[in-house]
Structure 1
Amino acid sequence: MALVPYEDTALWGLQKLHKSSSVYRFANHTIQITQNWKQLGVAAVVWDAAVVLCTFLEMGSIDLRGRLVIELGAGTGLLGIVAALLGAHVTITDRKAALDLLELNVQANLPADLQPRTTVKELTWGQGLAGFPPGAYDFILGADIVYLEETFADLLLTLEHLSSDHTVILLSCRLRYERDQKFLKMLQGRFSVHEVFYDPSNDVHIFKAQRNGWKGDL
């Protein structure tokens, strides 16, 4: 699943993660996200990295209208929902256990006319990739999906399968541990990687990655 695991008693500031819902305002819409920490843990709460990437997308430097977008490790689905509200055709993915909550949030927060442009689909990195068209996506989004070193190779394989020369990958994360830096080095071995945004209040970085040799703009 996406996101970094924490113990229940780790930090008092994480109490907000245990609430049954959280409310956000993006793309002129109020978005109420249902959370379920007790049942699903880290995959069922909204993390700062997702909020920061939503804010970055809303800033408007990227035009998502009509673009094909896929979100990896979507968790509650906030990021994919915002991408759809900004005009994208979005495939929102996570592992099977997260899909019911993910679908619930998508249905509850997208207007009826936008729901046909949004698909919730199971994806475990490195598996079943034939079910996803290779290189078909304009943008690949991921928020706090870099945390388990044993998933790094499968995540890179998935990114390579889903991307083409024109694809922009946007990864939002905190750099908490040495292994996070290790993943960035692995990513740099296969893609051109640049930091495009940093939120100091949340200590969240956004990295843009594209296939090596691509010189296009965001």
Structure 2
Amino acid sequence: MALVPYVENSLPALSKLHNSSARFRFADHDLSLAQDWKKLGVAAVVWDAAVVMCMYLELGRVELKGKRAIELGAGTGLVGIVATLLGAHVTITDREPALDFLTANVKANLPQHFQESVVVSELTWGKGLEQYPAGGFDLVLGADIIYLEDTFKSLLQTLEHLCSDTTVVLLACKIRYERDTNFLSMLRQQFKAEEVYYEKERDIHIYKAYKLPPKGDL
């Protein structure tokens, strides 16, 4: 979501983020995602949460074939690309400055016959939501998008708009700070949310959420 350029960091643990590409194999396809930390910062590198989300999608615990999915804060597009390869019709979104980079990754990693199943689109949370059908998606995906407290209200507003009462929301994240837990508390005011997966090595949690009915309907 946030396009924050970062100064080069010499810590070995972060060195992979400065590589020009990141390679994976998901859904029986070899993927090579371009990265550009210096230009676009956090929006242009593959974070562990995206990798773990793709692992979870491959487990088949969420139906993807023929489903309408949208990825929020897509960054490099890894999650949306894998969801497309697994059979979903995917709208992959991020803020406008990241779109050219995102589009190039999508085109480079999806075979031609998958291209008609994916759309790359601009979405700044909380703004221009009328461009997207209210409750129009079966699945909403977000990997490592819970980290800027200033965006929490607009993210929740966006989820509220995109989801019907049957939409599944999947959020992959680290729980780094108290504010991350606060977001989950905010989410649970509007959604029923539970942890469905935890990857210990990378310390990534995946939460599944469903929109709560209006209070008058409870």
Same fold (TM over 0.5): yes
Partner of 2:32: 32
Partner of 2:106: 106
8 Å CA contact 1:143–1:172 kept in 2: the answer is: yes
- Matched AA of 2:14: L
Partner of 1:146: 146
- Matched AA of 1:95: R
Q: Secondary structure at the match of 1:138?
A: strand
- Matched AA of 1:8: E
- Give the distance between the partners of 2:137 and 2:10, measured in 1 at CA: 38
Q: CA deviation at 1:3?
A: 8.8
Output the TM-score relative to the length of structure 2.
0.95
Partner of 1:82: 82
- Matched AA of 2:79: L
In the TM superposition, 1:1-218 aligns within 5 A as 1=1, 8-9=8-9, 11-212=11-212
In the superposition, relative to structure 1, how do residues 203 and 6 fare at CA in structure 2: closer, same or farther (>3 Å)?
Answer: farther
Q: Secondary structure at the match of 2:136?
A: coil
- Give the distance between the partners of 1:210 and 1:144, measured in 2 at CA: 19
Q: CA deviation at 1:8?
A: 3.3
In the superposition, relative to structure 1, how do residues 71 and 2 fare at CA in structure 2: closer, same or farther (>3 Å)?
Answer: farther
Q: Secondary structure at the match of 1:124?
A: coil
- Give the distance between the partners of 1:146 and 1:63, measured in 2 at CA: 24
- Give the distance between the partners of 2:174 and 2:49, measured in 1 at CA: 7
- Matched AA of 1:32: S
Output the TM-score relative to the length of structure 1.
0.95
- Give the distance between the partners of 1:20 and 1:200, measured in 2 at CA: 27
Q: CA deviation at 1:168?
A: 0.2
- Give the distance between the partners of 1:81 and 1:6, measured in 2 at CA: 25
- Give the distance between the partners of 1:64 and 1:3, measured in 2 at CA: 29
8 Å CA contact 1:84–1:114 kept in 2: the answer is: yes
In the superposition, relative to structure 1, how do residues 3 and 97 fare at CA in structure 2: closer, same or farther (>3 Å)?
Answer: closer
Q: CA deviation at 1:11?
A: 3.5
Q: CA deviation at 1:64?
A: 0.2
Q: CA deviation at 1:212?
A: 1.9
8 Å CA contact 1:4–1:147 kept in 2: the answer is: no
Q: Deviations over 1:126-166 (max 9, x none)?
A: 00000000001000000000011110000000000000000
8 Å CA contact 2:5–2:40 kept in 1: the answer is: no
8 Å CA contact 2:5–2:37 kept in 1: the answer is: no
Q: Secondary structure at the match of 2:137?
A: coil
8 Å CA contact 1:138–1:166 kept in 2: the answer is: yes
In percent, how many aligned pairs have the same letter?
Answer: 59
8 Å CA contact 1:2–1:74 kept in 2: the answer is: no
8 Å CA contact 2:95–2:124 kept in 1: the answer is: yes
Q: Secondary structure at the match of 1:172?
A: strand
- Give the distance between the partners of 1:11 and 1:197, measured in 2 at CA: 29
Tell me the number of residue pairs that the alignment of Structure 1 and Structure 2 aligns.
214
8 Å CA contact 2:92–2:119 kept in 1: the answer is: yes
Q: CA RMSD in A?
A: 1.6
Q: CA deviation at 1:69?
A: 0.1
Q: Deviations over 1:73-117 (max 9, x none)?
A: 000000000000000000000000110110000000101111011
- Matched AA of 2:56: F
Q: CA deviation at 1:5?
A: 8.1
